[in-house]
Structure 1
Amino acid sequence: MIEARRLHILRAVADHRTVTAAAAALYLTPSAVSQQLSALEQETGHRLVERHARGVRLTPAGEILLQHANTVLAQLERAEAELAAYGSGSAGTVTLAAFATGIDLVVAPALVRLARTAPGIRVRVQDAEGDASLPMILDRQVDVAVAVEYRGAPGDPRLTRVPLYAEPFDAVVPAGHHLAATGRVRLSALAEEPWIGPYPGNPCHDVVVLACERDGFSPGLEHHSDDFRAVVALASAGAGVALVPRSALRGMDLAGVVVRPVDGAAPTRRVFAAVRSGAEEHPLIQPVLEALGDTAPHVESAE
């Protein structure tokens, strides 16, 4: 009989690609992860992982088992949801990870709504940049994630996603820039400029790079920060130009920059809530998703 706990460990190793990283995500020691993998191999009668220069990877047998593991673990989430519903599930704690702007625009208003509609549910919020919250979901560190994707990003069948809102990126240029007087800015006009943007790995970095590539150039990213306040501060100092999500500009000191909409098809940040597949009907999680969804349209209309 295969233990579900070991399937979860197998999935973490596949996601993180090293035993050490998987152990850290699961709050286990590397030796404990290795022991559980060895026990799983004994249960199945197959070698499931193999080492290589950069860590470990699944064998073909491991890949087959991983596909079934995703199905089994999703079904267990549904079972927990139904059992919680049977026991009413009207009170408890839900952990939620979101990026800073998402907390401001969607999560905080959702907490206000939940205080009225589901006062027995306590939500514990953690700040997590970009799509960093999605591995936290799969590693069971949090229950709900508010994350960012870009057009063309592959979906993950292990997650159930609820779209929340979409917003354009605006061009931010120094106040004395020669394009500051224009009504809209074409990205190709900024091709020779130094650029300021998020670090690689942040979905907003991908949005910026893909938008520029669609206009026929690669942005010369000379300065990096995942904090859009720092990005705007650098632009105001004349260090370069940037693309910034419109909502992230709210409440900032924009005295040293000019913000202009992008001419043509504007790059867009799409924000969604995610839970482990099968958990969306959990009586504690479902009200949180509903509150996020009910709050999100106000973001779009406000823009």
Structure 2
Amino acid sequence: MIDPRRLRILRAVADHRTVTAAASALYLTPSAVSQQLSALEQETGHVLLIRGGRGVRLTAAGEILLGHTHSVLAQLELAEAELAAYAGGTAGEVTVAAFATGIAEVVAPAAGLLAAGHPDIRLRVRDAEGDESLPLVLGGEADLAVAVEYRGAPGEDDPRLSRVPLYAETFDAVLPAGHPLAAAGRVALAELAESDWIGPYPGNPCHDMVLLACELAGFQPRLVHSSDDFRAVVALAGAGAGVALVPRSALRGMELGDTVVRPVSGPAATRRVFAAVRRGAERHPLISPVLEALAKAAAGLSTG
């Protein structure tokens, strides 16, 4: 009989590619992870991992078992959801990991909706960048993520997650008030090719979106200043330090100072925001109302 707890460890190792990283994500020691994997190999009668200098990779047998692991763990999530529903489990806490703007745009309004319609469901919110929240869900540290599409993000067909699209928003150009294009109605990104740029750090999904938008416009931006705080980005632009692309919702209600905000002509960067839970958990009586509240809070937010 295969122990499903060991299947969770196998998936963590497959996700993180090293025993040490998987152990950290699972709050276990590397030796405990190695012991559990050895026990899993004994249970299955197959070598599941090949250890190399830079990490581990799954054998063909390991890949086969990983495919079944996704289904087994999703079914266990579904079983827990149905048992909770049977027991009337409509009171409890749901941990939501979301990036700052997502918290302001949908998580906080959803909390208000839940307080009115489901007062026994309590949200615990964790601030996590758009690429950090999904690993928290997969690792069991959060029940639900509000995340953005980014390069390397799990796709809609990922067997580990169920996703609900929330909203999509465009990025606007933020220019110093004295910039030659400040008086233009719209700005073509190619016209900013020679400007200094301000943008998020590598690893932030918005960094990838800015780079991709500029590449499509035919140039690589000269990123001189870096900050993940869009207020800092706007302040630097107002000081004449450069130009930037900023998600529209992040600019809402912000003191813009000595900057102008202009829509971008042609293809523009777009941030697509979605909610995600471990596959099977979407029917849990605590999580399902939260997904519904997030979708309701996001209605009408999409910009284009």
Shared fold per TM-score greater than 0.5: yes
Secondary structure in 2 matching 1:165: strand
Aligned mates of 1:275, 1:232 — CA distance in 2: 33
- CA deviation string 1:121-145 (max 9, x = no partner): 1111000001210011111110000
Unmatched runs of 5 consecutive residues or more in structure 2: none
Aligned mates of 2:183, 2:224 — CA distance in 1: 24
Q: How big is the shift at 1:251?
A: 2.2
Q: Could you list the structure 1 runs, at least 4 aligned residues long, displaced by more than 6 angstroms after superposition.
A: none
Aligned mates of 2:5, 2:244 — CA distance in 1: 45
Partner of 2:31: 31
Q: How big is the shift at 1:173?
A: 1.2
Question: Superposition pairs for residues 256-267 of structure 1, below 5 Å?
Answer: 256-267=258-269
Q: How big is the shift at 1:53?
A: 2.7
Partner of 2:297: 295
Superposition TM-score, scaled by structure 2 size: 0.95
Aligned mates of 1:151, 1:15 — CA distance in 2: 16
Which deviates the most, 148-157 or 6-15?
148-157
* 1:117 has 2:120 as partner: no
Partner of 1:8: 8
Which deviates the most, 45-54 or 86-95?
45-54
- CA deviation string 1:42-99 (max 9, x = no partner): 1111121222232222222211111110111011111111111100111011111000
Aligned mates of 1:40, 1:129 — CA distance in 2: 34
Partner of 1:240: 242
Aligned mates of 2:160, 2:222 — CA distance in 1: 36
Q: How big is the shift at 1:151?
A: 9.0
Q: How big is the shift at 1:194?
A: 1.6
Aligned mates of 2:98, 2:79 — CA distance in 1: 26
Retained in 2: the 8 A contact 1:150–1:268?
A: no
Q: How big is the shift at 1:157?
A: 2.6
Superposition TM-score, scaled by structure 1 size: 0.96
Aligned mates of 1:40, 1:152 — CA distance in 2: 29
Question: Superposition pairs for residues 50-129 of structure 1, below 5 Å?
Answer: 50-129=50-129
Aligned mates of 1:77, 1:29 — CA distance in 2: 25
The alignment-based identity, stated in percent, is 75
Aligned mates of 2:47, 2:196 — CA distance in 1: 50
Aligned mates of 2:162, 2:93 — CA distance in 1: 20
Which amino acid is the alignment partner of residue 301 of structure 2? V
- CA deviation string 1:275-296 (max 9, x = no partner): 0111100000000000000111
Q: How big is the shift at 1:154?
A: 5.4
Aligned mates of 1:183, 1:3 — CA distance in 2: 62
Which amino acid is the alignment partner of residue 276 of structure 1? R
How many pairs were matched up?
A: 302
Secondary structure in 1 matching 2:71: helix
Unmatched runs of 5 consecutive residues or more in structure 1: none
Secondary structure in 1 matching 2:295: helix
Which amino acid is the alignment partner of residue 232 of structure 2? A
